[in-house]
Structure 1
Amino acid sequence: MTRTILANARLILPDAVMPGAVILQGGTIAAITPGQGVPPGAIDLAGDFLASGMVELHTDNLERHMRPRPGVDWPHAGAILAHDAELAACGITTVFDAMRVGSIPNEAPDADYDKYARALAHELAEIRARGVLRISHLLHLRAEICSETLLAELDEFGPGDRVGIISLMDHTPGQRQFRDISKLAQYVQGKYKLGDAEFAAHVARLKALRARHGDAHEAAAVQIAHRLGAVLASHDDTTPEHVATSAGRGVRLAEFPTTPEAAAACHAHGIMVMMGAPNLIRGGSHSGNVPAAELARAGHLDILSSDYVPSALLAGALILARIWDDLPRAMATVTANPAAASGLSDRGRLEPGLRADLIRFAMMDDIPVMRETWVRGRRV
């Protein structure tokens, strides 16, 4: 088995940062040794940080590569490979690729709401089987409650599809993420160039869909998540009542709660809270919801997601390190905590016996500079 020694690094361990070396063998971490020495044959990391590879639970990045402009459908194999390479370069070694299930055929303002997840999951599986992907890919099915075809699309997935997360996404205008409809208008009208009358018709159509299908869609999505063995996530919880409902369904992960009250209720129910790193970096939510930094200072932030900017994940963790004055705690929001929330016990920490998924980075002022990424002990 190939043996690699990464020496003279600043190791970010679960509870400390210390100078040392990591020995990789057979795709796992074989040992960790303290000190700044560089044994013969070791790779000298010159004092750079060495951390566990990052685990990304919620990213729109694959969809961005597939649809780089409204109405442009990029070849999917190329999009998957470019997405995979970008994440590896950003230090993400495990990703749950977000795919929307639930469509509104021939009615949405753009073809963005046509069905695509089942075919894309097949393409991803075929490329994975050819051994060309750099990092580990699992599925995150975003169950769009406000749609027509959710149940039929979910039924197309089975136990062999590596579905790790199913999130309940309710984007009905006037509640949750878009309780401020002016923010929805700004987003939708800007993206699709809709006039006021067209936007009003779009809102009415979505509300009607929610009234017809919402309750049945939610109940069935919860059952299917349990059948597939997937972690169930809520999305945009806004009130303690939303959170109580989530807890009753067995939700373990809350994506982007929109208020401090919702985030506090999540912690009271033992639900881990995930917020977007772009929110942290920009200083607030683009939808006008609670700033991630506010939840961090309150002790109600557990996991970061890159959401729509992969490089934001590490940069966001280092902002948390400054807020908390605790680098190991901050790095856990992008390593150990998302691994634990998604049921992956074999990665997310620099510990002997775990997967040799690691990242090396330096700092340029307050900006991280990624140097190298290893997956299962192989530099990618």
Structure 2
Amino acid sequence: MTHKIFSRHIVTPDRVHAGHVILDGDTILAVEPAERAAANAFDCGDDLLIPGLVDIHTDNLEKHYQPRPGALWDALGAALAHDGQCITAGITTVFDSLALHGQKDGLDRGDALGPMIEAVDRAGDEGLLRAEHLLHLRCEVTNPRLADLIAPHIENPRLRLMSVMDHTPGQRQTANLDRLKDRMARRGASPDEMELLLADRTSWRDSAVAPENRAHVVALAHEHAIPLMSHDDESIAHVEESHDDGCIAAEFPVTLAAARTAKNYGMMTVMGGPNFVRGGSHSGNLGARECAAEGLLDILASDYVPLSMLRAAFQLTEAPFGWSLPAAIATVARNPARITGLTDRGDIAPGQRADLVQVHRAPGGWPVPRAVWVRGRRAA
């Protein structure tokens, strides 16, 4: 059964125009020019109609699983809350990005990994989720438990992305130790607590496990045909290593030199939506706006604020950037879809999956999702 959605501003891959998007079940059948809505069409009026967003990096599930330090929430309830926040932000495909790291605010991420993955699996099996949830394992190469943490999940059909990262203090994301200590102090850590934490994290780096772990993750990604990204590359040498490992993208590079090198190697650059919206990195590293100004920004991810993706994409169309709407929307839809092998979504075009978002431009510039369709069905 076919039905139509009308908008005066349909954002297709190469232009913005008025017309109907004709849906046949879960697929876009055609995009037809029209000046007014047909009698049987869903009428978006002057609101924009864009493809559903594809978020390849979000910490949002973990935030709902532990909403406050030391306070764990029911895992299924966390999955449902996370899903609701994503779908109402226009995110129709979300990669739940789980860190195979140590402690964070009292949460043992190794212990939390299984319950979070099982909760999303169960919610999906029971038809409780509105967005499509895939899995992104963020592999901390210095973690002595890394291989054991990955093993139970490597055959999970939702596992569609992996990344290698190293958060040892003193390099990459936390090259500036004074800045790191300042952030820890604002969280209430005492000087003694800071030194203990830094010593614990640094001790991982001193072991011989990091090179072995990285090689293991790279081998697994290739063996299972899972796209692989690098995280927080700081130097040209970091990017060269990532390229040699077969990484398809530099995720959150912390310097312009790293971002430029990734571009030269044909790797895409992923930056955080909150970084762009706030006007800078909370950790003082490379700004997403600076990356965009240099022509190095390919993909925006929500990182820790789901609604930031849409806001950042629309900011790209404003001064001083002046991107076209199709180019801006591609950073949150087509580009992240294609880089992860999802060729069936990310564009409003015949044959694509009918994942769509009606977006209203509120006074002050904030884009507000008013309706969301996933596989042709209204989800929000």
C-alpha deviations, 1:91-126, integer Å up to 9, x for none?
00000001122446xxx7723444222332122111
Question: Unmatched 5+ residue regions in structure 2?
Answer: none
| Structure 2: distance between partners of 1:49 and 1:111 | 41
More displaced, 84-93 or 33-42? 33-42
Contact 1:169 1:234 in 2 (8 A): yes
What secondary structure does 1:321 align onto? coil
Say whether residues 1:340 and 2:329 are aligned partners.
Answer: no
| Distance across 2 between alignment mates of 1:8 and 1:317 | 19
Q: In structure 1, what is the equivalent of residue 314 of structure 2?
A: 318
Q: Which residue, out of 196, 201, 205, partners 1:201?
A: 196
Tell which deviates more after alignment, 129-138 or 210-219: 210-219
* 1:81-120 equivalent positions in 2, closer than 5 A: 81-103=80-102, 110-120=106-116
Determine the structure 2 residue equivalent to 1:78: 77
Amino acid at match of 2:202: K
Give the structure 2 partner of residue 363 of structure 1: 361
Picking from 300, 304, 323, the partner of 2:296 is 300
C-alpha distance in structure 1 between counterparts of 2:20 and 2:254, whole Å: 41
Q: Report the equivalent of 2:351.
A: 353
State whether residues 279 and 292 of structure 1, in contact with CA within 8 Å, keep that contact through their aligned partners in structure 2.
yes
C-alpha distance in structure 1 between counterparts of 2:102 and 2:228, whole Å: 20
Structure 1 residues 127-166: aligned runs within 5 Å: 127-166=123-162
What secondary structure does 1:8 align onto?
Answer: strand
Residue pair 1:146, 1:210 contacting (<8 A) in 2 also: yes
Q: How does 1:36-51 map to 2 (within 5 A)?
A: 36-51=35-50
Conservation of the 8 A alpha-carbon contact between 2:79 and 2:116: no
Question: 1:147 deviation in Å?
Answer: 1.9
Distance in structure 1 (CA, Å) of the matches to 2:281 and 2:102: 26
| Contact 1:102-1:115 within 8 A present in 2 as well | no
Q: Counterparts of 1:373 and 1:250 in 2: how far apart (Å)? A: 35
Cα 1:250–1:269, aligned 2, differ >3 Å: closer, same or farther? same
- Cα deviation per residue 1:236-293 (whole Å; 9 max; x = unaligned)? 1111111000000000011100111110000001110000111111111111111111
Q: Give, in angstroms, the shift of residue 180 of structure 1.
A: 0.6
Contact residue 324 and residue 330 of structure 1 kept, 8 A: no
Q: How does 1:60-71 map to 2 (within 5 A)?
A: 60-71=59-70
AA partner of residue 34 (structure 1): P
Which of 111, 117, 123 is matched with 1:121 structurally?
117
Quick one: distance in 2 between partners of 1:256 and 1:288?
Answer: 12
* Letter of the 1:261 counterpart: A
TM (norm. structure 2) is 0.95
SS of the residue corresponding to residue 257 of structure 1 reads coil
Change (3 A) 1:31 1:110: same
Q: How many residues align?
A: 375
Normalising to structure 1: TM-score of the pair?
Answer: 0.95
Structure 1 distance, partners of 2:105, 2:77, is: 26
Partner of 2:10: 11
Distance 2:341 2:182 in 1: 37
**CA separation in 2, counterparts of 1:290 and 1:109?**
25
Q: Distance in 1 between matches of 2:312 and 2:260?
A: 21
* Post-superposition CA distance 1:337-379 (Å, at most 9, x none): 0001111000000011110000001111311121100000000
Quick one: which amino acid aligns to residue 273 of structure 1? T
Distance 1:188 1:115, change over 3 A: farther
Q: Secondary structure at the match of 1:324?
A: coil
Secondary structure class of the residue paired with 2:229: strand
Query: In the alignment, what sits opposite 1:329?
Result: 327
What secondary structure, in the 3-state scheme, does the structure 2 residue paired with 1:161 have?
coil
Q: Calculate the aligned-residue CA RMSD, in Å.
A: 1.4
C-alpha deviation, 1:319, in angstroms: 0.8
Residues of 2 paired with 1:216 and 1:114: CA distance? 19
Tell me if the contact between 1:357 and 1:377 (Cα under 8 Å) persists in the aligned partners.
yes
> Which residue is 1:190 aligned to?
186
Give, in whole Å, the separation in 2 of the partners of 1:21 and 1:13: 12
What amino acid does structure 2 have at the position aligned with 1:13?
T
Report the equivalent of 1:177: 173
Show structure 1 runs of 5+ residues with no match: none
**Partners in 1 of 2:7 and 2:161 — Cα distance?**
37
* SS in structure 1 at match of 2:67: coil
- What is the SS of the residue equivalent to 1:338? helix
Aligned partner letter, 2:296: H
In 2, the alpha carbon distance for the partners of 1:264 and 1:16 equals: 28
Q: Which amino acid aligns with 1:79?
A: A
Whole-Å separation in 1 of the counterparts to 2:154 and 2:115: 14
Query: Structure 2 counterpart of 1:14, which letter?
Result: P
